[in-house]
A and B are shown apart, each in its own frame.
Chain A
Amino acid sequence: MDNQIFFIILIGFGVLAIILFGLDIYYLARKPKEEKGVLSLKFSEKFLPELEKIINQEMKRAISEINQKVTNEAMESYKKQMATFSQEAENKMAGWDEITKKEILKFSNTCSRAEDLILQEAKSKTNELSKGLDEKIDRICQLATESINQKIAKTEKNIEDYKKEKLKEIDQKIYQMIGEIAKKIIGRAIDLSTHEKLVIETLQKAKKEGIF
């Protein structure tokens, strides 16, 4: 924006300078004819180019000066504006800083309160759960203990029954063995005549029982 203003001003000065120069030339050119009778100055051939040169130089200088001035003024204005802006920005920042701090503090307080509330609630719930859990655990332990005791009793009974059965089997086997040994010993001990007597007795028994 500033550059545009500067450019416009510059163009304006340039146009003004050209107009003025042109007017000068016009009047200078016309004046000798009208005022021939009064005063007539003769211009040398070098005058116009030199005048032009001087005007150019002056224009350049003026343009340079205007340029410089405008630049300086623009710079100044920019600096002032920047300073103002900077200050305002600083003030705003400070303000935001303040606001941010306040908000942070507020948020922190809220968080802290929320934390306390949550902790309280959590403690309360934990206590409730804990109480309920204790009761449940007690109940479960009781049931488990009862169940285990029942199973132990059943297992002990099974073991007892098994022991009895096995002892009975062992007894039977022992008696069987005794029987086998007795048969062998008796068989060897009986002589021929005893065998014969036993057979005859057997036949007599069989006759009594009606086999023959």
Chain B
Amino acid sequence: MKKIFEDFAKKIKTKEELIFYLEEIAQIRQIIFKDKDIPLSKKVERKVDGEFRKFLEISEKEEVISKNPGQQSSFFQELEKYLQSLPEIKLEIAFSPDDNSLDRISQWFEKELGQKIILDLIINPRVVGGAIIDYRGNWRDFSLAKKIDQLISQKNQ
């Protein structure tokens, strides 16, 4: 099941996306026990994101998700737990990255650290370039703004 969760988590790069999917999961959990005869993927039609619904459909076909509502509930509970356990990194950056940039940044973490990390992005033009990082209580300023300030400070002395 972990592999399924990991595959699912590949879609999620940012915290906003994580919150979104957690809300989707919460919604699904509310309708699991209704209309027990109807497949879950059908029940969630027009109620959840298209991508998520496709995921559910494939999972049902591959019998990753049981038809039993009780087991379905457990599945989503576990998925929720898994997603919430994913480590987060706060990145304060000067630009608004597109999907490709987000992919590349996210993939860097998977490649360099061997783990999935959720990006909590703060867009702040005053950073100028680079990033300010806050990860598990470690805060560091690697921004261009800081470098410029240091340069100016050296000139001033």
A199 and B93 contact, CB distance less than 8 A: yes
Cβ of A186 < 8 Å from any Cβ of B? yes
Cα distance A205–B143 in the bound complex, in angstroms: 11
The reply on B9 being an interface residue by CB < 8 A is no
Find out whether the CB atom of B95 lies under 8 angstroms from the CB atom of A186: no
CB-CB under 8 A from A194, the residues of chain B are 129
A-contact 0/1 string along B88-101, CB 8 Å cutoff? 00010111011001
Nearest chain-A residue to B133 (Cβ)? A206
Q: Give the number of residues in B that approach A within 8 Å (Cβ atoms).
A: 33
Which B residues contact A (CB, under 8 angstroms)?
Answer: 91, 93-95, 97-98, 101, 104-105, 108-109, 112-113, 125-126, 128-131, 133, 135, 138, 140, 142-145, 148-149, 152-153, 155-156
Chain A nearest CB, measured from B136 CB (Å): 8
Within 8 Å by CB of B91, from A171, A175, A199, lies A199
Docked-complex contact A183 and B135, CB < 8 angstroms: no
Assess whether B156 is in contact with A172, with CB atoms less than 8 Å apart.
yes
Residues of chain B within 8 A of A186, CB atoms compared: 128-129, 144, 148
**Chain A residues packing against B (C-beta within 8 Å):** 171-172, 175-176, 178-179, 182-183, 186-187, 190, 192, 194-196, 198-207, 209, 211-212
Nearest chain B CB to A5's CB is how many angstroms away? 135
- Number of A-B residue pairs, CB cutoff 8 Å, is 86
Q: How far is A212 from B140 in the complex, measured between Cα atoms in Å? A: 12
- The answer to whether B142 and A205 touch across the interface, beta carbons within 8 angstroms, is yes
The answer on a CB contact under 8 Å between B129 and A198 is yes
Q: A196 to B104, Cβ gap below 8 A?
A: yes
In the bound complex, do residue A198 and residue B144 qualify as a contact, i.e. CB atoms below 8 Å apart?
A: yes
B105 touches A187 (CB 8 A): no
How far, in angstroms, from A135 to B133 measured CA to CA in the complex? 79
Q: B144 — which chain A residues lie within 8 A by C-beta?
A: 183, 186, 198
Nearest CB in chain A: distance from B106 CB, A: 11
Known: A186-B144, A207-B112. A195 touches B95 (CB 8 A): yes
Name the B residues within 8 Å of A190 (CB-CB): 94-95, 128-129
Q: Are B130 and A201 in contact (CB under 8 A)?
A: yes
